[in-house]
Each structure stands twice: as C-alpha cells, then as structure tokens.
Amino acid sequence: MLRIRLRRMGARHRPFYRMVVSDANLDPRARAVEEVGIYDPTAKPAVVRVNKERVQHWVERGAQMSPTVRKLVKQA
C-alpha cells in the first residue's frame, strides 16, 4: 500500500520536510515513488507547498495520507 507522508531532511535543529509517496511497509527514508510537496516549519511563517494535482492523482489510486500530511494539504 502506498502512503503520502513526510520525510525529514535538513541539518540538526533545522528540520525541513519533503512530502513523498512511498510504500507504507518500507522505512520512511527508503526510495520514494514521487515527491509531491515541501514543508519548512522553521521559516516565519512556515512554508507549505503542495502539488495538489499529484496528491489527488495518488489518492485516487489508493494512497493514504498520514494525519500530518492531511492537515498540511488542507492548510495549503
């Protein structure tokens, strides 16, 4: 099953996240099928960029969004 979730990037104490579509059974750091957005919580205000067409594409094909990604997509 595919899942749309956040992958942590960036340095220590400077988190940066990518929204990725990946296999739910694999480690979140494993290879992703596609990157569909970014989230930078350290910027003032926080930066959220989402490619809504691609998110919708993957949801139609059965991908589940994590609770955090669902909240960020609503916010974007």
Does residue 9 lie in a domain region? yes
Amino acid 8: pLDDT: 94
- Which among 30, 71, 70, 35 is positioned nearest to 51, based on CA atoms? 35
Gap between the terminal Cα atoms of the chain: 25
Query: How large is the average pLDDT for residues 17-31?
Result: 90
Residue 56 sits in a domain whose CATH number is 3.30.1320.10
Evaluate if residue 28 carries a pLDDT over 80: no
Query: How large is the average pLDDT for residues 5-26?
Result: 94
- The model's pTM is 0.89
Task: Return the H-helix or E-strand segment holding 22.
Answer: strand 14-23
How many domains are contained in the chain? Answer: 1
Q: Give, as one character, the DSSP assignment of residue 29.
A: T
Does residue 8 lie in a domain region? yes
Amino acid 57: pLDDT: 96
| Mean of the per-residue pLDDT values of the chain | 93
The residue segments making up the domain with residue 14 are: 2-64
Does residue 27 lie in a domain region? yes
Query: How large is the average pLDDT for residues 18-35?
Result: 90
Does residue 6 lie in a domain region? yes
